[in-house]
């Protein structure tokens, strides 16, 4: 029940386990539902506004390993000016504190605007993550749709827990987390705008959707997934419906209208208006936006050798492989898209604005468990209405938009380099045995790998959850610290003793863990600085000099953009780099192995996903060897 059982973010379900939903339960009344959820939410603390002085000091500390001494001096002067009693800092700080009193969360709305809705790069690769599941045991169309039927049933099973509020509350460091994001991932969709996008969520409407969208061979269908008595369709019933969809769309050709959603957002915003100016198109787009989620039944992806399978599957989930692949078999604005290939490749892509990875992963873990346990699917007898094809009238203008989108999507697909590795030598077990935080250990291996490749440190981002606070999203853990810099510089230095290197490693790992604690308790610097800047905009003041400082731009140029996304299923999540000359690194530490997905852009000559992945593997192994061979580390 709500608030009793639990699951830890990054950990297994608590002893009482994941609450199994009761099948075909009668929905509880809306008021009771609201009561239980709200009671939990109201018990959560509000995100604090950190003290101004503390953020200024910590900002300088964070810059130390990244900028030259004269630049640092300049920034110190700007900060002195900013924070003095008569300066802008105090005024903005007061404004922020006032905002914090008047809102549930002073940050989240701003964050969603800045990080997502006003960010104009395509959501594909630049914002929406992919998730790759282990390869499933089928290799033909029949197997594909049998599995798809079970998957849909599994999602509806999870949805029952959302609707009935029987979802177990998650915990981080023993503290209960905000559960709001679970209510944002189904029945929602991003809508492109001319300068800024928006998100609609139909789950909370008085008439919530009862259908999903299925896309097959670039053609969209509306599939009703509830019987008239309110019970979800069974996997058997769903199989029959999916068969109808596939046979209606296998032989017919259609314009890949979904490719429009891969465009630059301003471009898509304009094309969107042209598209929905037609009544039929508007209705079809509306049906996609309102649907509970999208299921993409993909054509086979190119055959690859076993060792590159996961990297190719990651591409399939991240962007679909271009127009000759499956990029047109998507609606990338949809919050949640499940992707199932004919060859057993399975996973998902999700639009990031409404939620972080962990709620999506919890849903997918549940679905995988469900598909494993459920019976073999058999075609059901009773007849159901044929799923509705969503029609599109493609005018010459829209055709041109589609052609342009194909060109830019292909360019983006060509540009993305992706390497997935399974580091099989150890997982969380080894760092734990040495009494070190596994996450910090992995982050220090990344620092070492990067330093070995470039002989310098770079600004590094790691996502930290702010869900201990009501409506919390994320803050930044800055993995590059003075301690990490000392560690990586010493590691390959033959003049240094092993014991000194171990000592530096321990200090670097501890510094990372302590930054993590500070970040998850709302005391990191990045969102506070963003808040101060946004407050200046809100008050129509000129942007303070600290935000125009080259050091600030350097601090935000994350050449390593990283995130830990753990799961119970042995899967790997992936995303693109956030700067043209950077890397995206997503990792899933399991007990005895670690899955990594490393991305970079081919257009940047200095970066190479495969080389960084190899360097991370070497760094992890070398760090363990050092610990194993240095007696004092075994304390
Ligand atoms: N000695 C022994 N064990 C230790 C240890 C130490 N010094 N420090 C930590 N551990 C253990 C922990 O108890 C934990 O145990 P468990 O496996 O039984 O749960 C495990 O090691 C993992 O801890 P750690 O590696 O330190 O990381 P974490 O799980 O606390 O995660 C973050 C760190 C930053 C990833 C987490 O705080 C977070 O914010 N997660 C959300 C990130 C996110 O939202 N990502 C997606 C963005 S879309
Ligand atoms: C399936 C989960 C993928 C993880 C996505 C993620 O970590 O997104 C980060 C969100 C945030 O606010 O930190 C952003 N990042 C991909 C750029 C690290």
List where CATH 3.30.559.70 sits in the chain.
136-415
**By alpha-carbon position, which residue is closest to atom 11 of ligand 2?**
463
**By alpha-carbon position, which residue is closest to atom 19 of ligand 1?**
11
474 CA distance to ligand 2 centroid (A)?
Answer: 9
Of 3-12, 138-147, 370-379, the least confident: 3-12
Run of H or E residues at 565: none
DSSP 298: P
DSSP 476: E
Pocket of ligand 2 (CB under 6 A): 129, 131, 356-357, 360, 461, 463, 474, 561, 563, 565, 573, 575, 578, 586
Smallest-distance ligand from the CA of 347: 2
**By alpha-carbon position, which residue is closest to atom 6 of ligand 2?**
563
pLDDT exceeds 50 at position 373: yes
Length of the chain (residues)? 635
Q: 590, 385 in Cβ contact below 8 A? A: no
Query: Quick one: pLDDT band at residue 16, thresholds 50, 70, 90?
Result: very low
Please give the C-alpha separations between residue 502 and each of 387, 427, 505, in angstroms, as whole numbers.
63, 19, 5
For the chain, the average pLDDT equals 93
Mean pLDDT confidence for 462-468: 98
Structure tokens given for 615:
């360097």
- The upper half-sphere exposure of residue 58, i.e. CA atoms within 13 Å in the direction of its Cβ, equals 21
The gap from C-alpha 386 to its chain's centroid, in whole angstroms, comes to: 35
461 CA distance to ligand 2 centroid (A)?
Answer: 10
Structure tokens given for 572:
């790997």
Distance from C-alpha of 379 to C-alpha of 239, rounded to nearest angstrom: 6
Question: Quick one: CATH architecture of 136-415?
Answer: 2-Layer Sandwich (3.30)
Distance from C-alpha of 569 to C-alpha of 16, rounded to nearest angstrom: 19
Pocket test for ligand 2, best of 350, 463, 579 (most atoms within 8 A of CB): 463
Smallest-distance ligand from the CA of 519: 1
589 CA distance to ligand 1 centroid (A)?
Answer: 9
Task: Say which residue the tokens 């699917």 belong to.
Answer: 377
In the residue annotation, 352 being an active-site residue is answered as yes
Structure tokens given for 396:
């010459």
Tens-place pLDDT, residues 96-145: 999 999 999 999 999 999 999 999 999 999 999 999 999 999 999 999 99
Tens-place pLDDT, residues 193-247: 999 999 999 998 999 999 999 999 999 999 999 999 999 999 999 999 999 999 9
**What is the position in ligand 1's atom list of the atom closest to the CA of 477?**
34
Q: 599, 576 in Cβ contact below 8 A? A: yes
Q: 272, 282 in Cβ contact below 8 A? A: no
- Percent over 70 (pLDDT), the chain: 93
Run of H or E residues at 457: none
Distance from C-alpha of 113 to C-alpha of 105, rounded to nearest angstrom: 14
CATH of domain 52-115+418-634: 3.30.559.10
List where CATH 3.30.559.10 sits in the chain.
52-115+418-634
Q: Which residues contact 1 (CB under 8 A, 6 or more apart)?
A: 19, 166
Smallest-distance ligand from the CA of 361: 2
Other CB atoms closer than 10 Å to residue 533's CB: what's the count?
18
Please give the C-alpha separations between residue 413 and each of 408, 417, 443, 604, 611, in angstroms, as whole numbers.
9, 9, 28, 14, 20
Mean pLDDT confidence for 314-341: 97
By CB neighbour count within 10 A (0-12 exposed, 13-18 middle, 19+ buried), where does 15 fall? exposed
Tens-place pLDDT, residues 573-616: 999 999 999 999 999 999 999 999 999 999 999 999 999 999 99
357 CA distance to ligand 2 centroid (A)?
Answer: 7
Cβ of 320 below 6 Å from ligand 1? no
Cβ of 427 below 6 Å from ligand 1? no
The gap from C-alpha 184 to its chain's centroid, in whole angstroms, comes to: 14
Query: Quick one: pLDDT band at residue 377, thresholds 50, 70, 90?
Result: low
β-sheet bridge partners, residue 476 = 463
pLDDT exceeds 70 at position 486: yes
**DSSP three-state, residue 345:** coil
Mean pLDDT confidence for 380-395: 90
Task: Say which residue the tokens 């000016």 belong to.
Answer: 81
């Amino acid at each position: 029940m709500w608030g009793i059982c639990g699951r830890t973010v990054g950990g297994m379900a608590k002893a009482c386990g994941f609450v199994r939903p009761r099948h075909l339960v009668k929905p509880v009344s809306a008021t009771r539902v609201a009561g239980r959820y709200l009671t939990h939410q109201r018990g959560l603390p509000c995100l604090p506004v950190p003290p101004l002085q503390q953020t200024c000091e910590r900002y300088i500390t964070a810059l130390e390993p990244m900028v030259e001494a004269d630049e640092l001096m300049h920034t110190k002067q700007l900060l002195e000016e900013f924070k003095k009693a008569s300066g802008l800092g105090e005024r903005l700080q007061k404004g922020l504190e006032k905002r914090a009193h008047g809102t549930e969360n002073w940050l989240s709305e701003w964050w969603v605007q800045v990080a997502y809705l006003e960010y104009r790069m395509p959501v594909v690769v630049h914002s929406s993550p992919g998730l790759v599941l282990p390869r499933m045991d089928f290799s033909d169309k029949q197997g594909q749709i049998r599995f798809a039927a079970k998957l849909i049933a599994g999602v509806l099973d999870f949805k029952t827990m959302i609707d009935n509020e029987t979802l177990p509350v998650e915990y981080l460091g023993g503290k209960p987390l905000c559960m709001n994001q679970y209510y944002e991932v189904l029945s929602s969709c991003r809508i492109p705008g001319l300068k800024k996008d928006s998100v609609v969520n139909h789950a909370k409407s008085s008439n919530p959707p009862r259908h999903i969208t299925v896309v097959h061979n670039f053609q969209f269908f509306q599939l009703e997934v509830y019987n008239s008595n309110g019970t979800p369709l069974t996997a058997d019933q769903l199989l029959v419906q999916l068969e109808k969809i596939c046979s209606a769309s296998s032989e017919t050709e259609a314009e890949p209208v979904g490719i429009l959603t891969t465009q630059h957002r301003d471009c898509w915003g304009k094309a969107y208006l042209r598209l929905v100016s037609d009544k039929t198109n508007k209705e079809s787009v509306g049906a996609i936006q309102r649907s509970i989620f999208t299921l993409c039944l993909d054509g086979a992806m190119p055959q690859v050798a076993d060792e590159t399978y996961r990297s190719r599957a990651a591409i399939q989930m991240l962007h679909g492989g271009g127009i000759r692949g499956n990029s047109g078999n998507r609606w990338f604005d949809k919050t949640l898209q499940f992707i199932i290939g004919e060859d057993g490749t399975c996973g998902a892509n999700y639009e990031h604005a409404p939620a972080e990875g962990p709620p999506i992963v919890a849903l997918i873990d549940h679905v995988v468990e469900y598909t494993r346990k459920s019976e073999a699917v058999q075609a059901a007898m009773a007849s159901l209405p044929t799923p509705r094809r969503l029609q599109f009238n493609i005018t010459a203008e829209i055709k041109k938009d589609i052609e342009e989108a194909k060109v830019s999507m292909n360019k983006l697909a060509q540009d993305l380099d992706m390497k997935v590795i399974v580091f099989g030598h150890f997982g969380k077990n080894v760092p734990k045995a040495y009494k070190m935080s596994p996450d910090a250990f992995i982050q220090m291996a990344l620092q070492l790998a990067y330093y070995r490749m470039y002989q310098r440190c770079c600004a590094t981002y790691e996502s930290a959850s702010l869900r201990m606070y009501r409506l919390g999203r994320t803050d930044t853990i800055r993995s590059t610290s003075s301690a990490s810099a000392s560690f990586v510089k010493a590691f390959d230095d033959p003049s240094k003793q092993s014991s000194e290197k171990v000592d530096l490693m321990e200090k670097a790992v501890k510094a990372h863990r302590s930054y993590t604690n500070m970040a998850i308790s709302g005391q990191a610097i990045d969102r506070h600085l963003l808040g101060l800047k946004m407050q200046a905009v809100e008050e129509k003041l000129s942007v303070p000099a600290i935000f125009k400082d080259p050091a600030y731009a350097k601090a935000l140029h994350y050449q390593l953009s990283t995130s830990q996304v753990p799961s119970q299923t042995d899967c790997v999540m992936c995303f693109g780099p956030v700067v043209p000359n950077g890397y995206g690194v997503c990792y899933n530490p399991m007990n005895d192995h670690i899955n990594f997905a490393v991305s970079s852009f081919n257009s940047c000559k200095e970066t190479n996903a495969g080389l960084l992945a190899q360097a991370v593997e070497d760094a992890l192994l070398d760090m363990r060897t050092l610990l194993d061979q240095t007696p004092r580390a075994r304390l």
